[in-house]
Chains A and B, each alone.
Chain A
Amino acid sequence: MSNIPSIPVLRRGEVYRSLEQQPINAIGTDEPAAFMSMANSGLVKRDLNFVGQSRNVLRKIPAHDLMQMCIDAGDHFLNGTLPVGEEEYPQTPDDYVKSLSATSGLPHALIRMNMNKLHEIFTEMPTIMRGLTRGLDLAVLDKGYGDQQGVPVSYSANTEALAVVLPSNSPAVNALWMPALVMKIPVLLKPGREEPWTPWRIIQSFIKAGIPKEAFSFYPTNHDGSGAIVRRSGRVMMFGDDSTVSQHALDPRVEVHGSGKSKIIFGEDCIDDWEKYLDIMVESVSANSGRSCINTSAILVPRHGDAIAEAIAKRLSEIKPRPFEDPEAKLSGFANPKFAEYINGAVDAGIADGGARDVNEPHRGRERHEIFQNMHYLHPTIVRCDTWEQPLANREFLFPFASVTEVAQEDMLDSIGSSLVVTAITQDPEWVEELLECPHIERLNLGAWPTNRVKWDQPHEGNLFEFLYKRRSIHIAALAHV
């Protein structure tokens, strides 16, 4: 694609070209790969007063029809040529991959992997909805009430729209808002600075499949505009670090997806066979370049810590920066070099505290932070910690990073703290019982299953349906039209 698109604001589906055009440069160059229309905060606030109109449009369409449109949209997303920008330049899947790679630093292979993952979100929507609603007949959303397993049920929406403040670093996070459309809740998206491409393409896929354009608002905007979205929307999904999570902890309107601190833990009964699980550990740490909250950031073992750390480090050292288009490229760069510098500094500072060592250092034979083809990379890093109290033992970073720490099995569940995913390698029935009772684990994998693999009927990080709808009690004595 040789033309440079101008990504506009979408105001309930209507294209709006702002006078403020922000270039999105290809990484390491001063060449714009696109221009983005920036919405002023006043415009965002004004539009938020009208989101109810979009909801009314979606309410009129049966949920089963929306479901079918969603499934159809998957093919458009994966294989279709879709319009991009206000000029409606045709964007093939390859164009999309190249554009996203150019501005975000993600290798083509990882983007394609994420495309496939998002395609599954579209096509597996019936399974996802079953998981989110516990098998609710979606006709209940059409009518407002119905029955589930012989019990009368009624649901009302908590909001007229779902606002999402998106990050730039992982296209797959868009999966989290997509089911909202089938739930008849319009979306209002604020894209990340370097990544308008994925939400835009998803929107175009939905529209091509028949979902009314009014269901989509898209506001590239500055900090002030983002703040307006967060403060004024009925329900908000956003992404951030621990401080962002705590800032909104008491606000039921806001769901912050923060760090996952996902873990692999070994029981006494399986630890001597750890080599059998090496592939699972390597995948859990390094898949998607370690950028997901479901990547493993800590491995807790009763013994063999040095050998395990060494073995994972050796395997991870094979993952190196490569050209974007190299099909073997698995490591993402940092569009913002300051992120790479900050993270690298944080790892170094943790090691300087003592009681931890960078096991990858001798394997990679170079600095952790490397500039390759104008792009900043952090090489995969396994840190062997002497104790769980070492500051790096329970840290999560935006690259393939994990700690390996020896902790006695009986102390593990008291130590791990809040964990989005835990894969527990054990057959010990008593420990399994304790794991099932552990309140810190949001998603539990019992046995050999990488933390980064999700099942579509198993929602994690909050349940979108429960976020967007509340169940009300209902009794209908008589309705003439029933």
Chain B
Amino acid sequence: MNAQDTLDQHTRETIEHHFSPETGSPFWLKWAAENWDPRKEVQCFADISKFPHFQDEWLRDITNEEWVPKAFAGRPYNVFETGGTTGLPKQRVGWDDYKHDYEMFSDQLDDDAFPKGSNWLMVGPTGPRRLRLAIEHLAAHRGGSTYFVDLDPRWVKKLIIRKEYDQVERYQRHVIDQAVEILKHRDIKCLFTTPRLLESLAERVSVPGLGVRGCFCGGTTMTPQTVRFLVEEVLEKKALFVPTYGNTLMGLACSVPLTDDYSVTYYAPQPRAVLRVVDADATQKTVDYDSYGRVELTTLTREFFMPRFLERDEAIRRKPCDRYDWDGVGDVRPFGVMENKVVEGVY
């Protein structure tokens, strides 16, 4: 079965699961009753376009109980948060998705750079985020343990909005101080952090010099120039750099190995999530290959169904490749960054 057939079949199964009165969530069952029956109308992934765009405010305004599929009734759920500089953050409930996602991701990791049985360090947002459990699971899945240094991005964002840049730098130093101590005194070979924190870490110590062999990064825009800088100077071409694109709502999109132009292309973990690059003014249509468009995410797991969510990012639509037989998203950047000032890259 090719990737498209697999996706179509997975779409039908997911729709059946979320819109069946036996297994679906109160939110989607109510939605179907008020609109139309997706079990009849959706027979392949292309039919997902019949749904309107998912509104992420729903994840804040609707109680978490409404999102629990009956199939998971009685199992306490994890609450994962996203955003939330002010007010109630958006929340997503989950059970095992993060484990599936990061086990899939583990299969893509190079065992030389991320040796099995070695320990990890995560420097970045932990707290109520999915990432914290995900990284620990990834390390455990590969036979290692994880050390953590937390960074609260909501506080950093507030400082930036208030133009308290000195405080930002002091807070960042505080975070890096802790990371340096762990790297110096514990046997760490694998690192997860954000590009900014990785840069700061490398201003203080040689990251590969302290034994790190692989670094996987995510969280903010990475231009080809930034990626090149991280590979050539920050990691000194001695540790492998693996950029990823992900969030609480999707999981994790992997990148293909970097080439000389350092342009990063990510491929969604299909069929569990699908990324399309669409025309921002006519979102039914994808843009031509090698053109920029807005990123649209559809998540299709048994725990969570989220059709056609418009991300706050834009990217280049890239062609399928040998490893991934579906479209990729390249050189992701904040949507509208060329026209507007966007508070981005806070950590």
Contacts and interface: CB of A to CB of B under 8 A. Distances in A.
Interface in B201-229: 202-203, 223-226, 228-229
B226 A42 contact: yes
A42 B224 contact: no
Question: How many of chain B's residues touch chain A, expressed as a range?
Answer: 20 to 34
Interface in A34-70: 38, 40, 42-43, 45-46, 49
Contacts of A45: 199-200, 203
A42 B198 CA distance: 10
A46 B199 contact: yes
A49 B206 CA distance: 14
B326 interface: no
Contacts of A18: 225
A224 interface: yes
A20 B333 CA distance: 14
Interface string B152-181: 000000000000011001000000000000
B195 A42 contact: yes
Contacts of A227: 165
Nearest to B345: A224
A19 B169 contact: no
Interface string A213-234: 0000000000010010001000
Contact of B234 (A20, A42, A231): A42
B265 to A, nearest CB: 15
B140 to A, nearest CB: 31
B228 A19 contact: yes
A40 B169 contact: no
Nearest to B226: A40
B165 A20 contact: no
A46 B224 contact: no
A18 B226 CA distance: 9
Instruction: Indicate the member of A18, A40, A49 with the most B CB atoms within 10 Å.
Output: A40
Contacts of B61: none
A231 B166 CA distance: 8
Nearest to B169: A231
Contacts of A224: 345
B54 interface: no
Contacts of B233: 43, 46
A20 B223 contact: yes
Contacts of A42: 195-196, 199, 226, 229-230, 234
A45 B195 CA distance: 13
Given A19-B262, A224-B345, A46 B225 contact: no
B170 to A, nearest CB: 11
Nearest to B232: A43
Nearest to B168: A231
Given A224-B345, A231-B169, A46 B202 contact: yes
Nearest to A43: B229
A481 to B, nearest CB: 37
Contacts of A19: 223-225, 228, 261-262
Interface string A19-34: 1100000000000000
Interface string B310-347: 00000000000000000000000000000000000100
Interface in B17-39: none
Nearest to B224: A19
Contacts of B166: 231
A249 B225 CA distance: 35
Contacts of B196: 42
Contacts of B224: 19-20
Nearest to B222: A40
A163 to B, nearest CB: 15
Contacts of B223: 19-20, 40
A336 to B, nearest CB: 15
Interface in A217-276: 224, 227, 231
A40 B225 contact: yes
A137 B195 CA distance: 49
Nearest to A17: B225
A35 to B, nearest CB: 13
Nearest to A231: B165
B224 to A, nearest CB: 4
B215 to A, nearest CB: 14
Contacts of B165: 227, 231
A40 B229 contact: yes
B165 to A, nearest CB: 6
B211 to A, nearest CB: 21
Interface of A: 18-20, 38, 40, 42-43, 45-46, 49, 224, 227, 231
9 contacts: A19-B262, A40-B229, A42-B195, A42-B196, A46-B202, A46-B233, A46-B234, A224-B345, A231-B169
Given A43-B233, A46-B233, A231-B165, 16 more contacts: A18-B225, A19-B224, A19-B225, A20-B224, A20-B225, A40-B225, A40-B226, A42-B195, A42-B226, A43-B229, A45-B199, A45-B203, A46-B199, A46-B203, A227-B165, A231-B166
Which 6 A/B pairs are nearest by Cβ-Cβ distance?
A42-B199, A19-B225, A20-B225, A19-B224, A40-B226, A40-B225
